[in-house]
Amino acid sequence: MTDLAFSKDAMKEYEWMLTRYPNKEAALLPTLRIAEREFENLDPAAMKYVADLMGLSPAKVLGVVTFYTHYRREGTGTYHLQVCSTLSCALRGSEDVCAHLSAKLGVGLGETTDDGLFTLSKVECLASCDTAPMLQCNDDYHEGLTLEDVDHLIDRLREEAKAGGAA
Amino acid sequence: MSFEPILTKYRHEKDSHTIDFYRGHGGYEQAKKAIHDWAPDDLIEEVKKSNLRGRGGAGFPTGVKWSFVPKQTDKPKYLAVNADESEPGTFKDRVIMETDPHLLLEGIMISCWAVGINTAYIYIRGEMVHGYNQLVSACKEAYAAGFLGKGIFGSDFELDVTVHRGAGAYICGEETGMLTSLEGERGQPKLKPPFPAIEGLFGCPTVVNNVETLANLPFILEKGADHFRSIGPEKSPGPKLFCVSGHVEKPGTYELPMGVNLLTLINEHCGGVWKGRKLKAVIPGGSSAHVLHADECDVNMDIESLAAGGSMLGSAGVIVMDETTDMVDALLNIMKFYHHESCGQCTPCREGTGWLEKIVHRLHQGRGRKEDLDVVFDVCDRMIGKTICVLADAAAFPAMSFIDKFRDEFLAKCTNSDRSTAQATSGAGGVNV
Ligand SMILES: Cc1cc2nc3c(=O)[nH]c(=O)nc-3n(C[C@H](O)[C@H](O)[C@H](O)COP(=O)(O)O)c2cc1C
Ligand code: SF4
Ligand code: FES
Query: Is residue B77 domain-shared with residue B184, that is, in the same domain?
Result: yes
Q: With respect to residue B43, please indicate whether it lies within any of the assigned structural domains.
A: yes
Which one of B322, B348, B364 terminates a domain?
A: B322
**Same domain for B312 and B344:** no
Q: B264 and B290 share a domain?
A: yes
* Mean pLDDT computed over B252-274: 98
pLDDT digits (tens, 9 = 90+) for B122-138: 999 999 999 999 999 99
Question: Higher confidence at residue B433 or residue A124?
Answer: A124
User: What is the mean predicted confidence (pLDDT) over B53-59?
Assistant: 97
Q: SS3 of B165, please?
A: strand
What pLDDT was estimated at residue B120? Answer: 98
- Shared domain for B336 and B313, answered yes or no, is no
Determine whether the interchain pair B86/A67 forms a contact, defined as Cβ–Cβ distance below 8 Å: no
Same domain (yes/no): B331, B314: no
Same domain, B297 and B399: no
* In the predicted structure, residue B70 carries a pLDDT above the cut 80: yes
Nearest Cα neighbor of B65 from B179, B257, B210, B280 is B210
Q: Which residues of A touch B171 (CB under 8 A)?
A: none
Please give the distance, rounded to the nearest whole angstrom, from the Cα atom of residue B389 to the centre of ligand 2.
5
Assigned domain for B292 exists? yes
Q: Which domain holds residue B264?
A: 239-322
Which CATH number covers residue B271? 3.10.20.600
pLDDT at residue A107, rounded to an integer: 97
pLDDT mean over B69-86: 97
* Whole-number pLDDT of residue B84: 98
Do B149 and B259 reside in the same domain of the chain? no
Residues B75 and B154 in one domain: yes
- B332 belongs to a structural domain: yes
Question: What does the pLDDT look like over B317-358, one tens digit per residue?
Answer: 999 999 999 999 999 999 999 999 999 999 999 999 999 999
Q: Among A74-78, B19-23, B96-100, B247-251, which stretch is predicted with the lowest mean pLDDT?
A: A74-78
The answer to whether A87 contacts B330, with C-beta atoms less than 8 Å apart, is: yes
pLDDT, average across residues A103-107: 97
Q: pLDDT tens digits, residue range B242-262?
A: 999 999 999 999 999 999 999
Both B313 and B368 in one domain: the answer is no
Q: Rounded to the nearest whole angstrom, what is the distance from the C-alpha of residue B170 to the centroid of ligand 3?
A: 13
Q: B139: how many CB neighbours lie within 10 A of its CB? A: 21
Query: Nearest residue on chain A to B77, judged by CA atoms?
Result: A22
Question: How confident is the model over A29-54, as a mean pLDDT?
Answer: 96
- Give chain A's largest Cα–Cα span: 50
Do B280 and B407 reside in the same domain of the chain?
A: no
Q: CA dist B352 to B335, B369, B389, Å? A: 10, 19, 14
DSSP string, chain A: -------HHHHHHHHHHHTTSSSGGGGHHHHHHHHHHHHSSB-HHHHHHHHHHHT--HHHHHHHHHH-S-S-BTT--SEEEEEE-SHHHHHTTHHHHHHHHHHHHT--TT-B-TTS-EEEEEE---S-GGG-S-EEETTEEE-S--HHHHHHHHHHHHHHHHTT---
- Residue A165 confidence (pLDDT): 59
Question: Residue B167: its chain A contacts at CB < 8 A?
Answer: 29, 32-33, 68-71
Q: Would residue B132 count as lying in a domain?
A: yes
pLDDT of amino acid B418: 83
The pLDDT of residue B290 is above 50 = yes
- Domain count for chain B, please give it: 3
Query: Does residue B188 share a domain with residue B59?
Result: yes
Mean pLDDT over the full length of chain B = 96
Q: What is the model's pLDDT at position B92? A: 98
Q: What is the pLDDT of residues B393-425, one digit of tens each?
A: 999 999 999 999 999 999 999 998 888 887 644
Name the domain boundary from B194, B229, B264. B229
The reply to whether B5 falls in a domain is no
CATH number for position B122: 3.40.50.11540
Q: Which residues of B touch A71 (CB under 8 A)?
A: 126, 167-168
Find the mean pLDDT for residues B368-373: 95
Give the tens place of pLDDT for each residue, B22-48: 999 999 999 999 999 999 999 999 999
Q: Could you tell me if B180 and A28 are in contact, meaning their C-beta atoms sit under 8 angstroms apart? A: no
- The alpha-carbon gap from B154 to the nearest alpha carbon of chain A, in Å, equals 23
Q: What share of chain B is helix, strand, coil (3-state, %, to 5)?
A: 45, 15, 40
B331 and B310, same structural domain?
A: no
Nearest Cα to Cα of residue B85 among B113, B116, B124: B124
Which stretches of B179-224 are assigned E, i.e. beta strand? 206-210
| Domains in chain A, CATH or no CATH each | 8-67 (1.10.10.1590), 79-162 (3.40.30.10)
Cβ within 8 Å, pair B243-A94? no
Domain C-terminal end among B322, B354, B369: B322
pLDDT in tens, B146-178: 999 999 999 999 999 999 999 999 999 999 999
Percentage of chain B lying above the pLDDT 90 cut: 95
Is any atom of ligand 3 closer than 6 Å to the C-beta of A125?
Answer: yes
- How sure is the predictor about B427, in pLDDT bands with cuts at 50, 70 and 90? very low
